Amino acid sequence: MSRQPTVEVKQLHKSFVQRGPWPWSPERRIHALKGVDMQLWPGQVLAVVGQSGSGKTTLARIVLGLEELSEGQVLIEGRRWDTMGEAERHRYRIHYQYVPQDAMAALDPQQTSLEHVAETLRVLGGNGRAEARKKGEEMLVRLGLSERFHALPREMSGGEQRRVTLARVLALAPRLVVADEPTSGLDPQRRQEVLRDLVGNLPTEAACMLVTHNMAAAKRWCTHAVVMLDGWIIETFDPQNDMPVHPYSKLLFDPWSAPLPGTSLATEGCPFRDDCPLVEGSDPDRCRVMPSLMATDHHDGRVACHQLASTDPSPGAALDATGSTNPSDPQSSGSPIPNPQPRGES
Ligand code: SF4
């Protein structure tokens, strides 16, 4: 594994002004991200999990430079990405790819699936016409679209449209893929197929950030997970081997849980404190301050909770923000994470 994270996000803040529907409506400043630190290493598939409005899509879009940040830093493969000019970014864009939520909107209604992939390979990948066509066919076959080379987007099912967007991205052998809810609107069977195609066809050293509110997807396909709430990362853990312990994460990952709070988030301190079952056992005033991510005795990731922080100060010092220890880092002294399942079928 590389000694350099593919993505490193430092103290990322994003805020914007929201205006009401009328000219005289008061303005409101919305804080979509409130100080996010995160690392994503080569070979990792990171689930960014949270409800609508938690900041997960904003985080993903800022990482790829599709949205501007307000404060903080984004480094990709060690380079400052947030301050890089568009001309320089263009040199790297072939390696850093985005899978949009709305596949139909991303496809040209006049182009067949093969034309979509071949054009990407020609324009971005620099391949000649014949080579682009050959590689495009190979990628579509790998994604189960051998019978659909000449289908237009409107002639394809939702799952097939997603596969064409994946084929365009994967054909470029990217080093970073950011996928924003790539299975939204699909039935459970198609969801699994699309995620299998995405994760199973990533180059070995590629890093992938999968934005999802589908907990089953995180558990099955991702080597690491971060849970977001109200612009914060509140927990990092290995979804294939561990269960989350933050009370909000537990609700998210419990399919039988009561509806999650959406509007009752506290405006200062821990946003979950009005609904948190752990507050009673703790000093409630402590929860008026938002805790940072800390090591916990419950798993090898980290959690933003005063009650769940490790009582042993030594472990976790070298944990990265995705809850893992970089095994190739000689300075890493944190306890190694249990080996996550390899990508693909678990
Ligand atoms: S910090 Fe406090 S309110 Fe937040 S999860 Fe922990 S105990 Fe609950």
Q: CA-CA distance, 122 to 325, in Å (whole number)?
A: 39
Q: How far is CA 306 from CA 121, 203, 291, in A?
A: 50, 39, 6
Q: CA-CA distance, 334 to 76, in Å (whole number)?
A: 24
- For the segment 160-209, what is each residue's pLDDT rounded down to a tens digit? 999 999 999 999 999 999 999 999 888 888 899 999 999 999 999 999 99
Q: CA-CA distance, 220 to 345, in Å (whole number)?
A: 8
Q: How far is CA 11 from CA 21, 24, 207, in A?
A: 32, 34, 21
In the reported structure, the alpha carbon of residue 283 is separated from the centroid of ligand 1 by a whole-number distance in angstroms of 10
Amino acid 258: pLDDT: 60
Who wins on pLDDT, 14 or 346? 14
Q: CA-CA distance, 344 to 195, in Å (whole number)?
A: 9
Q: Where are the domains of the chain?
A: 7-18+29-222, 235-332
Q: Is residue 17's pLDDT more than 70? A: yes
In the reported structure, the alpha carbon of residue 35 is separated from the centroid of ligand 1 by a whole-number distance in angstroms of 18
* Among the listed residues 58, 105, 48, 20, the one whose alpha carbon sits nearest the alpha carbon of residue 249: 48
CA-nearest residue for atom 1, ligand 1, is: 305
Tell whether ligand 1 has an atom less than 6 A from the beta carbon of residue 278: yes
Tell whether ligand 1 has an atom less than 6 A from the beta carbon of residue 294: no
- For the segment 44-82, what is each residue's pLDDT rounded down to a tens digit? 999 999 988 899 999 999 999 999 999 999 999 999 999
Amino acid 313: pLDDT: 58
Residue of 229, 245, 273, 310 with the most ligand 1 atoms within 8 Å of its CB, for mutation: 273
In the reported structure, the alpha carbon of residue 307 is separated from the centroid of ligand 1 by a whole-number distance in angstroms of 7
- For the segment 108-166, what is each residue's pLDDT rounded down to a tens digit? 999 999 999 999 999 999 999 999 999 999 999 999 999 999 999 999 999 999 999 99
Tell whether ligand 1 has an atom less than 6 A from the beta carbon of residue 276: yes
Q: Is residue 34's pLDDT more than 80? A: yes
- How would you class 124 by CB atoms within 10 Å of its CB: exposed for 0-12, middle for 13-18, buried for 19 or more? middle
CB 7, CB 38: distance < 8 Å: yes
Amino acid 260: pLDDT: 64
In the reported structure, the alpha carbon of residue 343 is separated from the centroid of ligand 1 by a whole-number distance in angstroms of 33
Amino acid 14: pLDDT: 97
- How would you class 269 by CB atoms within 10 Å of its CB: exposed for 0-12, middle for 13-18, buried for 19 or more? middle
- For the segment 282-335, what is each residue's pLDDT rounded down to a tens digit? 677 889 999 999 999 999 999 999 999 988 755 444 344 444 434 343 333 333
In the reported structure, the alpha carbon of residue 270 is separated from the centroid of ligand 1 by a whole-number distance in angstroms of 6
pTM, to two decimals: 0.87
**What kind of fold does domain 7-18+29-222 have according to CATH?**
Rossmann fold (3.40.50)
